[in-house]
Amino acid sequence: MSSAWPLVITLLYVATAMLIGLRARAGRSMNSLEEWGVAGRSMGPVTLYLLIAAGSVSAYTFMGAPGWAYSKGVAVFYVAIYLAYLALVAWYFGPKVWQFGEQFGHVTQASAIADRYQSPALGALSALVMAVGSVAYAVLQTIGSAYILFVMSGGLIPVWLGVLLVLACIAVYLYASGQRAIGRTNAFQGVLMLVVAWAVGLWAIHSATGGLSFAGVFERIAAENPEFLTLPGAGGDMSFSFWTTSIIVSMFSFMPPVWTQWMSASSARTIRRSATWLPTYYVVILPMVVVGFIGIFSLPELARADTVVLEYAMQHLPVVLVGLLGAGTLAASMSSSEPFIHSVSLSVSKDVLQPLLKLSEGATAKLARLLILPIMFLVIAPLAIAEPGSLVMILLVGLGFASQVLPAFIGMFFWPRASRLGVMAGILGGFIVTVAFTTLWRHPLGIHAGFWGLMVNLPLFVLVSLVTPATREEVVERFFRISAPRGLTRLGKQVS
């Protein structure tokens, strides 16, 4: 593509995002974890709605999910199940997590775990395991961002340079404004993504079929490539067992940024209102997935499935729309990488380094802001430049590790008898199995490595909890007054 407009529009988006992120600070001091970490618990329902929505709709909306539709077919619809589930989780658990933070002073997910089990060591372990999953997610988004700049510049900005540019941009406003920058930029990015996805999707459908109905695309797929409409898909590599266990692993991953978003709300009621609206945003993914299906018959020889939307746009759509697609895709990537980088820095500082080095709250807050730099440029950048595997597969591997912290949440919301040693044993056992089945024996019997980890993790958690001392009763009661299912203070004990 010879026109400079796509790159100009994309760079204008980057400049706008930086300006919004820097102005989000609005004169406030960021030298406290409460302010830099959770925006002083001040976000209203509309900002929170766009924050959660844009944060959960990432690069896979414009690249990964269409890529799976293009290469595997209907297996991609695991995303629809996962997003619907996220809204339910936010509606039920979000207000309870907000009350934990507001009443007990938590600013991270691992802080809540450490408090529930009265164990800083368990909090640190949870923070480190979650950091593995969070870094994988941030790497995924950074690869997507860099690739957009590579395509929009016609190859003038190589992937390695794109990685550094995007991370540098995020670093500036994340350091300056913390969670407030994430809230403001995600609100802008969320609106941009919704408009761009539907504009590009409808234009692509019209250019491919002459109409605006999704049905025309699927009727042609059914006639010419019916193997894309059933599992295991056209490549034969997406078995029902892997598809199903991937969904289960995704559903059991309570990622730390989501927890931080809930604690940034102005009230518990704000979270419930935002969660109720969330399904209205998740329709953003539908037109992009349909463009992936269009690629099956329009771009049959594509070398890299993740690029199907971009390739189709550059061949069939006006340059202005291609530029908006670049901006929208970059917005999707950045809106998701920001909260994951922020949460890793926040949690490692608060839950690992503060107890280890016995730092004050003020020193920990300064450390959290500075730590984003080595996380970005010494960990995420090298991994993103190496481009390890497909985007969705990176996401699933990350979720496989994150899901191993599940026992900590079972004990926090449902099972008072859960013990510190039981949770530790489960996490460690599950993590080791997930590592082995991700690197040495990849997904045995076609079952996701993270699911194998949970099959070892959960029995260990229950057995060790039953034979080791439980957490002090007053601590458990303090949590279960908030978290127990309605009508119960503890399981089996009715409210008097």
Give the model's pLDDT for residue 422: 95
Q: Is the pLDDT of residue 485 over 60?
A: yes
494 strand-pairing partners: 488
- For 32-68, the pLDDT digits (tens) are 888 998 888 888 998 888 888 877 776 677 887 888 8
Find the mean pLDDT for residues 95-121.
93
43 strand-pairing partners: 265
Which domains are seen in the chain, by residue range?
4-384 (1.20.1730.10), 404-483 (no CATH)
A 10 A CB-CB count for 131 gives 24
DSSP element (H, E) containing 494? strand 493-494
- For 296-354, the pLDDT digits (tens) are 999 888 888 888 998 899 888 898 888 888 888 888 788 778 889 999 999 999 999 99
Which amino acid does the sequence have at 337?
S
DSSP summary character for residue 256 = H
Give the model's pLDDT for residue 139: 87
- Contact present, 412 and 479 (Cβ < 8 Å): yes
Give the end-to-end CA distance of the chain in Å, rounded to a whole number.
Answer: 71
By three-state DSSP, how is residue 370 classified?
Answer: helix
Among the residue ranges 334-348, 440-454, 475-489, the one predicted with the least confidence is: 475-489
SS3 content of the chain, % helix, strand, coil (to 5): 80, 0, 20
pTM of structure = 0.83
Q: Is the pLDDT of residue 80 over 80?
A: no
